[in-house]
Structure 1
C-alpha cells in the first residue's frame, strides 16, 4: 500500500460518504478501501473519519487533511493529463448527461462534430431532466439548467443564460388581442408549466427599474405540462400565451412563428434567474476529452446569437 492509494481511497470515501460507494468509484472491494483508510489513519496517528452504521463524515482534522489532499491529487492528475495532451487526441469513453429538449436542439450537432474531429472518442449520452449523481454514476460532464449552488469538488462552466420570454403565435394574438402590460395576461389563456407544489404566478420587473419592483400575475389557463417542448408546441398551434426559455423559442421568434410580448419587462427575474452550465468533477480538470466536448458545445451555442445568450 502506498501513500497515493491511501489518499485516493480517503478522498473517495469523503466524497461519497461511504466505503461501498467509494469502492464502486475506485473499482475496488470495500474491504480494500477500508484497509487503505485504516492504514492512512494509523500512519498519521489521526482520526480522519467519523463512522456510523448510516454514514461516514469527516472529523475536524479530516476536513483540513481532505482539502490539502484534494489539492495534491488534482495537481498530480492535471500534470498527467497535460503531459498526455501533448501527444494524444481525445479518446476513450466520455459519459455525458443532459436535459432532453436541450439535447435535441443543441447537442445533436455537437455529437456529429465530435465524432468527425475525434474518431477515437466514444460518446455515451444519457438524456434526462432529472439530476444524476455525477460521482456514483461516473459522469464526466453534466449539462444542467438551474442555479449552480455550492457543490464541493464540482467545477461549473457557464455556457449561457436561461432568460425567459413571454410569447404567443400570430394566430392567437390576431384572435385575442395584444398584451401590452403584465396585467393584460389576466384576459388571456396562459400555457403553464406544472409543478409538484402549488401553482406559481408569473413574475415581472420592468427593465431599468432601479427599485426592482416585482409584479406577480396569477395567470389562468386550461393547459398544463411538465415538459417545455409540449408547451412550445401548444403555443405554436395557437392555444395561448407561454413563458419559455429563449434558447427554446428563439428560432421560432426569429422565424415569426412566435411573437415576443412584454419586452420592456424581465420575466421571472431576481432569485429565479438561472443559467445553463457544463459541470464536471474536479478530478476531471485538465481532461482533454472533457475540454473538447465543452468547447464544441460553446461553439454550437455561439452559432445562435440572439437565441442563446452568453
Structure 2
C-alpha cells in the first residue's frame, strides 16, 4: 500500500500523511491537479468524489462532493493558496453546502501537498494544519485518518493506468478490513456496454451465471433508487446443486458509473450485504470495482470460502464474449 505513515501531532496541531509511489513525480503531480484523475481516488471506498469545478490558480477554488452508498452527499471546497508547479501546492480546505458556500460551523484547515522524486519513484507528504486542538480531535474522530489512508491507497491504479493495473490478472479479491472487501476485474469493452450488461435483464441472463451448468431463471431489476430486485439461478442438465436466489433494494444509481444495492439470500435469515459497483473506463477498457460490506468478519470469511471469486471470474470471462456480440 502506498501510505507508509500517518502522524497526528496534538502539540503542533498537524496531521501528516506520507505515501510512496512507483511513478515519476510529474505523474503524481498530474493526478493531484487534474480533476478527472483526482476524483478517481480522492474519496475513500464507498464515498467517491466528484469535482464540479477546478480553477487551479492561486486564489482559485475547487468544489467537490462525496456520495455515500445511500446517495447522501457531503460537499467541500478548496481555495488554492500557493502553487509551485510540479512540486507543491497548498489549499484552504472547508466543508461546504450544496452551493459551495463554506459551512462556518465546521472547522476549516490548511492543507499542503509536497511531491518529490525518490530512487523508486515519488514521495507525497501531505500536511493538514488545524486551528485548534478541538478541530484536530473533531476531524480525527470523524475518521479523517482512516478515510485519507484508504483514499491515497487507491492512487496506484490511477498512476499505473487501468490496463497495466488489471490486464491479465483476472478477478481479484482484496480484504480491506473485517467488514469490507474489494473485487476488481478489467473488461475489454466500453463503460456504457458494461453498465447495460449489469442493468438489462436480457443481457444479464447471458453472462451472470457463475460456473458452467447453471441458468438464470429469474431477473427482475430496474436500476432506480428505492426499487426492489430479485435474481434466481437453477442447475441445468446433470449439474448438481439446488436453485437459489438473491433479493434486495437499489439504494443508489448513477448511470454508467455506480450502482449500490443490498443483497440477501432469498428464503434465509442470513444477514444482507451492501454491494457498491463502480465502473471506470480508460483506453476502451472498463475496470469493474465492487466494494462489498459484510456485517462482520465471520460472514465475510464464510462467503469468500464458497468460491465466490472463481464464480465471478467465470461470469466475467463470459461477459467479455457477450459484449463482443452486442
TM-score (norm 2): 0.26
Which structure has greater strand proportion? 2
Structure with the higher helix share, 1 or 2? 1
Q: Which has the higher contact order (CA 8 A, sep 6+)?
A: 1
